[in-house]
Amino acid sequence: MSDLQRTHTCGQLRKADAGSEVTLSGWVDTRRDHGGVIFIDLRDRYGKTQVVFNPEYNSEAHQQASSLRSEYVIAVKGKVAERPEGMVNPDLDTGEIELFVDELEILNTCETTPFEITADTDVSTELRLKYRFLDLRRPIMQKYLAFRHKICQVARQYFDENNFIEVETPFLTKSTPEGARDYLVPSRINRGQFYALPQSPQLFKQILMVSGLDRYFQIVKCFRDEDLRAQRQPEFTQLDLEMSFVREDDIITIVEGLMVDIFNKIMGKEISAPFPRLSYHDAMKLYGCDSPDLRFGMTIEDITDIAKKTEFKVFQKVAESGGQVRGINATGCAILSRKEIDELTTFVNQFGAKGLAWFKVDDGGLTSQISKFFTAEAQSEIKERFNAVPGDLLLFVADKESVVSQSLSQLRLNIGKTNGLINEEEFNFSWVVDFPLLELNEDLNRYDSLHHPFTSPHQDDLQILEERPLDVRARAYDIVLNGVELGGGSIRIHRPDIQKRIFKLLKIDEITAQKRFGFLLEALKYGAPPHGGIALGLDRMVTILLGLDDIREVIAFPKTQKATCLMVDAPSDVDEKQLKELGLSLRKPD
């Protein structure tokens, strides 16, 4: 145990502390030698303080300090002094003072680090993840984690003030394979049987409503064994909540209040609620996706009706065969060269589009290689539909609906970013509501739930549930921030007869339903109240609010895109004894 016990942090001392005797502990951030005097910036989580080893002040401490190197852990005792005039450092909260050292204790040395412990470390992500214990020493990373902590604290306080109870739900639970694959955990006691790590607390929180808890929340880890993309992790954190005796508006209002609270208390910004709402139909029609970025315009317009009347065979053929011809107005982009437009064509190719038709708008009308196939009347209609003026560039995709929507949605974002149409300082919330309850899985010739099988159908659509299932609306809602789905929820099915009808539509027979969800069906028989909820992605939220691109920056110990932890080398082999205890044996892959 050190003889020198910390009295202050490295971010705490101010001009008013001059003359005080204090003890600081931390890491050597930088070392400078000037005229025989050694200056050290001592760093801890709270900040930095300049400490001075002057041989005229204390020769013994100065001699000891000659051995100090970056990232040594030290404790220093000395007297706080005001910095000389002209030597104040405005970049540090402690920049008006320095500490003259009387006593130094080296608590630990440090080998040469694989990268510098600075904010702008320019090394590979893999190296940072392997040495995450060093990466997390960087002040910027500690700032990110502290920001995340504050959001959790504000959320907990907000939910408590609104009569929610925080309840922990099990991590070792039952596998109910719907959607992504489960992470399975073999049971030693019950040989041949497995637990699953939960993809969400969905069923448990519904059962808590049946139990009469009325309002529940949890900041909870969830697990999905899926192919990872840039913003996905195999384990992730949700702000999860559920409420009884509510409708959609009640849950939406609670979530909006939470966001207003977070922005006010943490971001220092005022945002207004209620947030705008779009139906799923309008979101797909105007933006080509169900998570639109509303920070800029450039909505998608449909000209399929005009395309049928033109002589341009590509448009005509698609329009007459049930496809769509839709486009966007890239305002002011008529200056783009043919090469740049060809690059946009290559861009939409990756989303299935076979090509990209275009018109440049000038004083004479629409100019393009395909202009000759469009009458003056058709060109006038197109200009009017897009509110096009000279200098604009109209871009079109003709194909089946799914290809057109995805291509134009991504093209809109691409042009918005590259042409500076998006205000990166803006935070734009919206809700997307009235999703379809089901979608057709053509590969398996069945219906799938667009959200999950426990989402309630719209009351007015129950009568067409079996006859026109694809027309049934779900009582579901997603919250979107800057074009990213921040969370999704729904009013749940609370009647067992309706739940059974949904299972039947999904081709989940009674035996399978009983095996997977029997406990829920049983609970619904015993006076389940109307209820609903939502889950918000905490990792995504923190990433967006900090203006970052990589979700791994806000998770203390994230996985790679191969779902590995480079620091602890997980997953890893286990020995034969452990496998034998579990009744497992491994076979080599074919």
Please tell me whether 539 is known to bind a ligand.
yes
DSSP single-letter state for residue 472: P
CB 258 within 8 A of CB 273: no
Opening angle at CA 501, ends 500 and 502, nearest 5: 90
CB 220 within 8 A of CB 169: yes
Strands 446-449 and 438-441 come out as antiparallel
| Token output for 100 | 């003259």
Task: Give how far Cα 318 sits from Cα of 312, 354, 373, 382, 400, Å.
Answer: 10, 12, 15, 17, 8
Q: Which amino acid is at 177?
A: P
Please tell me whether 226 is known to bind a ligand.
yes
- Whether cis (ω within 30° of 0) applies to the bond prior to 274 is yes
Residue 121: how many other CB atoms lie within 10 Å: 16
Q: Which amino acid is at 228?
A: L
Find the helix packing angle between 338-349 and 401-418, rounded to 10°.
130
Return the closest-CA partner of residue 253 out of 515, 501, 532.
Answer: 532
Burial zone of 425 (CB within 10 Å; 0-12 exposed, 13-18 middle, 19+ buried): exposed
- DSSP codes, 538-584: HHHHHHHHTT-S-GGGGSSS---TTS-BTTTTBS----HHHHHHTT-
Please tell me whether 537 is known to bind a ligand.
yes
At 393, phi and psi to the nearest 5?
Answer: -125, 120
d(CA 385, CA 399): 20
| Token output for 360 | 């440049």
d(CA 46, CA 65): 23
Find the helix packing angle between 510-524 and 202-210, rounded to 10°.
40
Return the closest-CA partner of residue 475 out of 461, 460, 494, 455.
Answer: 455
Please tell me whether 492 is known to bind a ligand.
yes
Please tell me whether 225 is known to bind a ligand.
yes
Residue 311: how many other CB atoms lie within 10 Å: 12
Please tell me whether 486 is known to bind a ligand.
no
| Three-class DSSP category at 212 | coil
d(CA 306, CA 310): 7
d(CA 139, CA 343): 40
Element (H, E) at 196: strand 194-197
| Three-class DSSP category at 37 | strand
Q: Which residues contact 348 (CB under 8 A, 6 or more apart)?
A: 356, 397, 407, 408, 410, 411
Please tell me whether 178 is known to bind a ligand.
yes
DSSP single-letter state for residue 267: I
| Three-class DSSP category at 101 | strand
Element (H, E) at 330: strand 324-330
d(CA 183, CA 194): 10
Binding site residues for ATP, as ranges? 224-226, 233, 485, 537-540
Binding site residues for L-aspartate, as ranges? 178, 224, 451, 492
Binding site residues, as ranges? 178, 224-226, 233, 451, 485, 492, 537-540
